[in-house]
Amino acid sequence: MFKNIVLLCTILVNTHGVPQYNNEYWAGRWFPHSASETDQNPLVLSKKSHSHDHGIIMGKEDSSCDDAKTNLAIDWFMNKANFTCLDDKKLFLPQSIVHPIHTVEHIPAAYSAAHKCMNESIEYTESIPTFGTHRPLWAVYGEYTFVPKQRWIHNLEHGAVVMLYHPCANKNQVKLLKSIVKSCLYKHVITPHSELSYDRPLALVTWGHRLEMSKVSTSVAVEFIKKYALNGPEKTTKDGQYSWMLEERSKIVSDLDDTNLCPVYSNINMK
């Protein structure tokens, strides 16, 4: 039962039947290889020949698996500690000499992130993951008091930009980055994240990319969003279902597809 639910939507759509693969199954190759080599993995072949349609199972509310309401505490302590500054704010002050870091994770084109039901925990090795196993229901686009990564990773898969800030990060810097994200695109999720570093307590994340910053540079942030937003492997404009602690829904910037990214920053030249 569960094995059928967790498979990537594309596979479910393409095969029109019961997939044969285990949720953690991967017999392909994990690293980029030369273009002349062909990968004989059936998952790769089926994904190459089809567009990424929105799946049938994904995003369906199934209370026995995930209804976006039950057992939420498995993903975080549901404690104020997760979004309150408990450290010395001075340690997080913006520093002009600390340059932003852009990390790129090489996710194979045929990688299929698994869905896990709420009866199983999901751990990540990275403190700011840019891909991975996640919950079947994703977050409604917008700004949150707190939303755990098990949810927003699913939004990344749909092309969202996730803005993370440490609860102790400088308020003006947080405000500036929020205003950039909100005026750049509809598909965004904004949440505090206590696993950011003292040196770079602000981050923008998309599927496979993360930009960690000490001090916001509008041009660097806008360039990152223009280049890496909407790069998730699954194209769907459907909004999420999870909305616990949602403060404000996203507003449309250009249209639901974010056809025109960062329109107010059209003066920023792309390198």
Ligand X SMILES: *[C@@H]1O[C@H](CO)[C@@H](O)[C@H](O)[C@H]1NC(C)=O
Binding site for ligand X (CB under 6 A): 1-2, 64-65, 76-77, 79, 81-82, 117, 119-120, 148, 194
Compare residues 2 and 30 and give the one whose CB is closer to ligand X.
2
Compare residues 151 and 188 and give the one whose CB is closer to ligand X.
151
Cα(244)–Cα(70) distance, rounded to whole angstroms?
A: 11
Burial class (CB within 10 angstroms; exposed 0-12, middle 13-18, buried 19+) of 69: middle
Compare residues 6 and 8 and give the one whose CB is closer to ligand X.
6
As measured in angstroms, the least distance from the Cβ of 126 to ligand X is 13
As measured in angstroms, the least distance from the Cβ of 32 to ligand X is 31
Whether the Cβ atoms of residue 42 and residue 19 lie closer than 8 Å to each other: no
As measured in angstroms, the least distance from the Cβ of 195 to ligand X is 6
Compare residues 9 and 180 and give the one whose CB is closer to ligand X.
9
Compare residues 70 and 179 and give the one whose CB is closer to ligand X.
70
Compare residues 116 and 215 and give the one whose CB is closer to ligand X.
116
Cα(11)–Cα(115) distance, rounded to whole angstroms?
A: 13
Q: What distances in angstroms separate CA 175 from CA 8, 164, 261, one per listed residue?
A: 36, 12, 19
As measured in angstroms, the least distance from the Cβ of 163 to ligand X is 15
As measured in angstroms, the least distance from the Cβ of 125 to ligand X is 14
As measured in angstroms, the least distance from the Cβ of 154 to ligand X is 15
Centre a 10 Å sphere on the Cβ of residue 117 and count the other Cβ atoms it contains: 17
Cα(248)–Cα(239) distance, rounded to whole angstroms?
A: 14
Cα(109)–Cα(185) distance, rounded to whole angstroms?
A: 25
Strands of 161-165's sheet in order across: 101-104, 209-213, 202-206, 161-165, 188-192, 142-144, 246-249
Whether the Cβ atoms of residue 141 and residue 182 lie closer than 8 Å to each other: no
Point out the residue whose Cβ comes nearest to ligand X: 2
Crossing angle for the helix pair 171-184 and 218-228, nearest 10 degrees?
A: 40
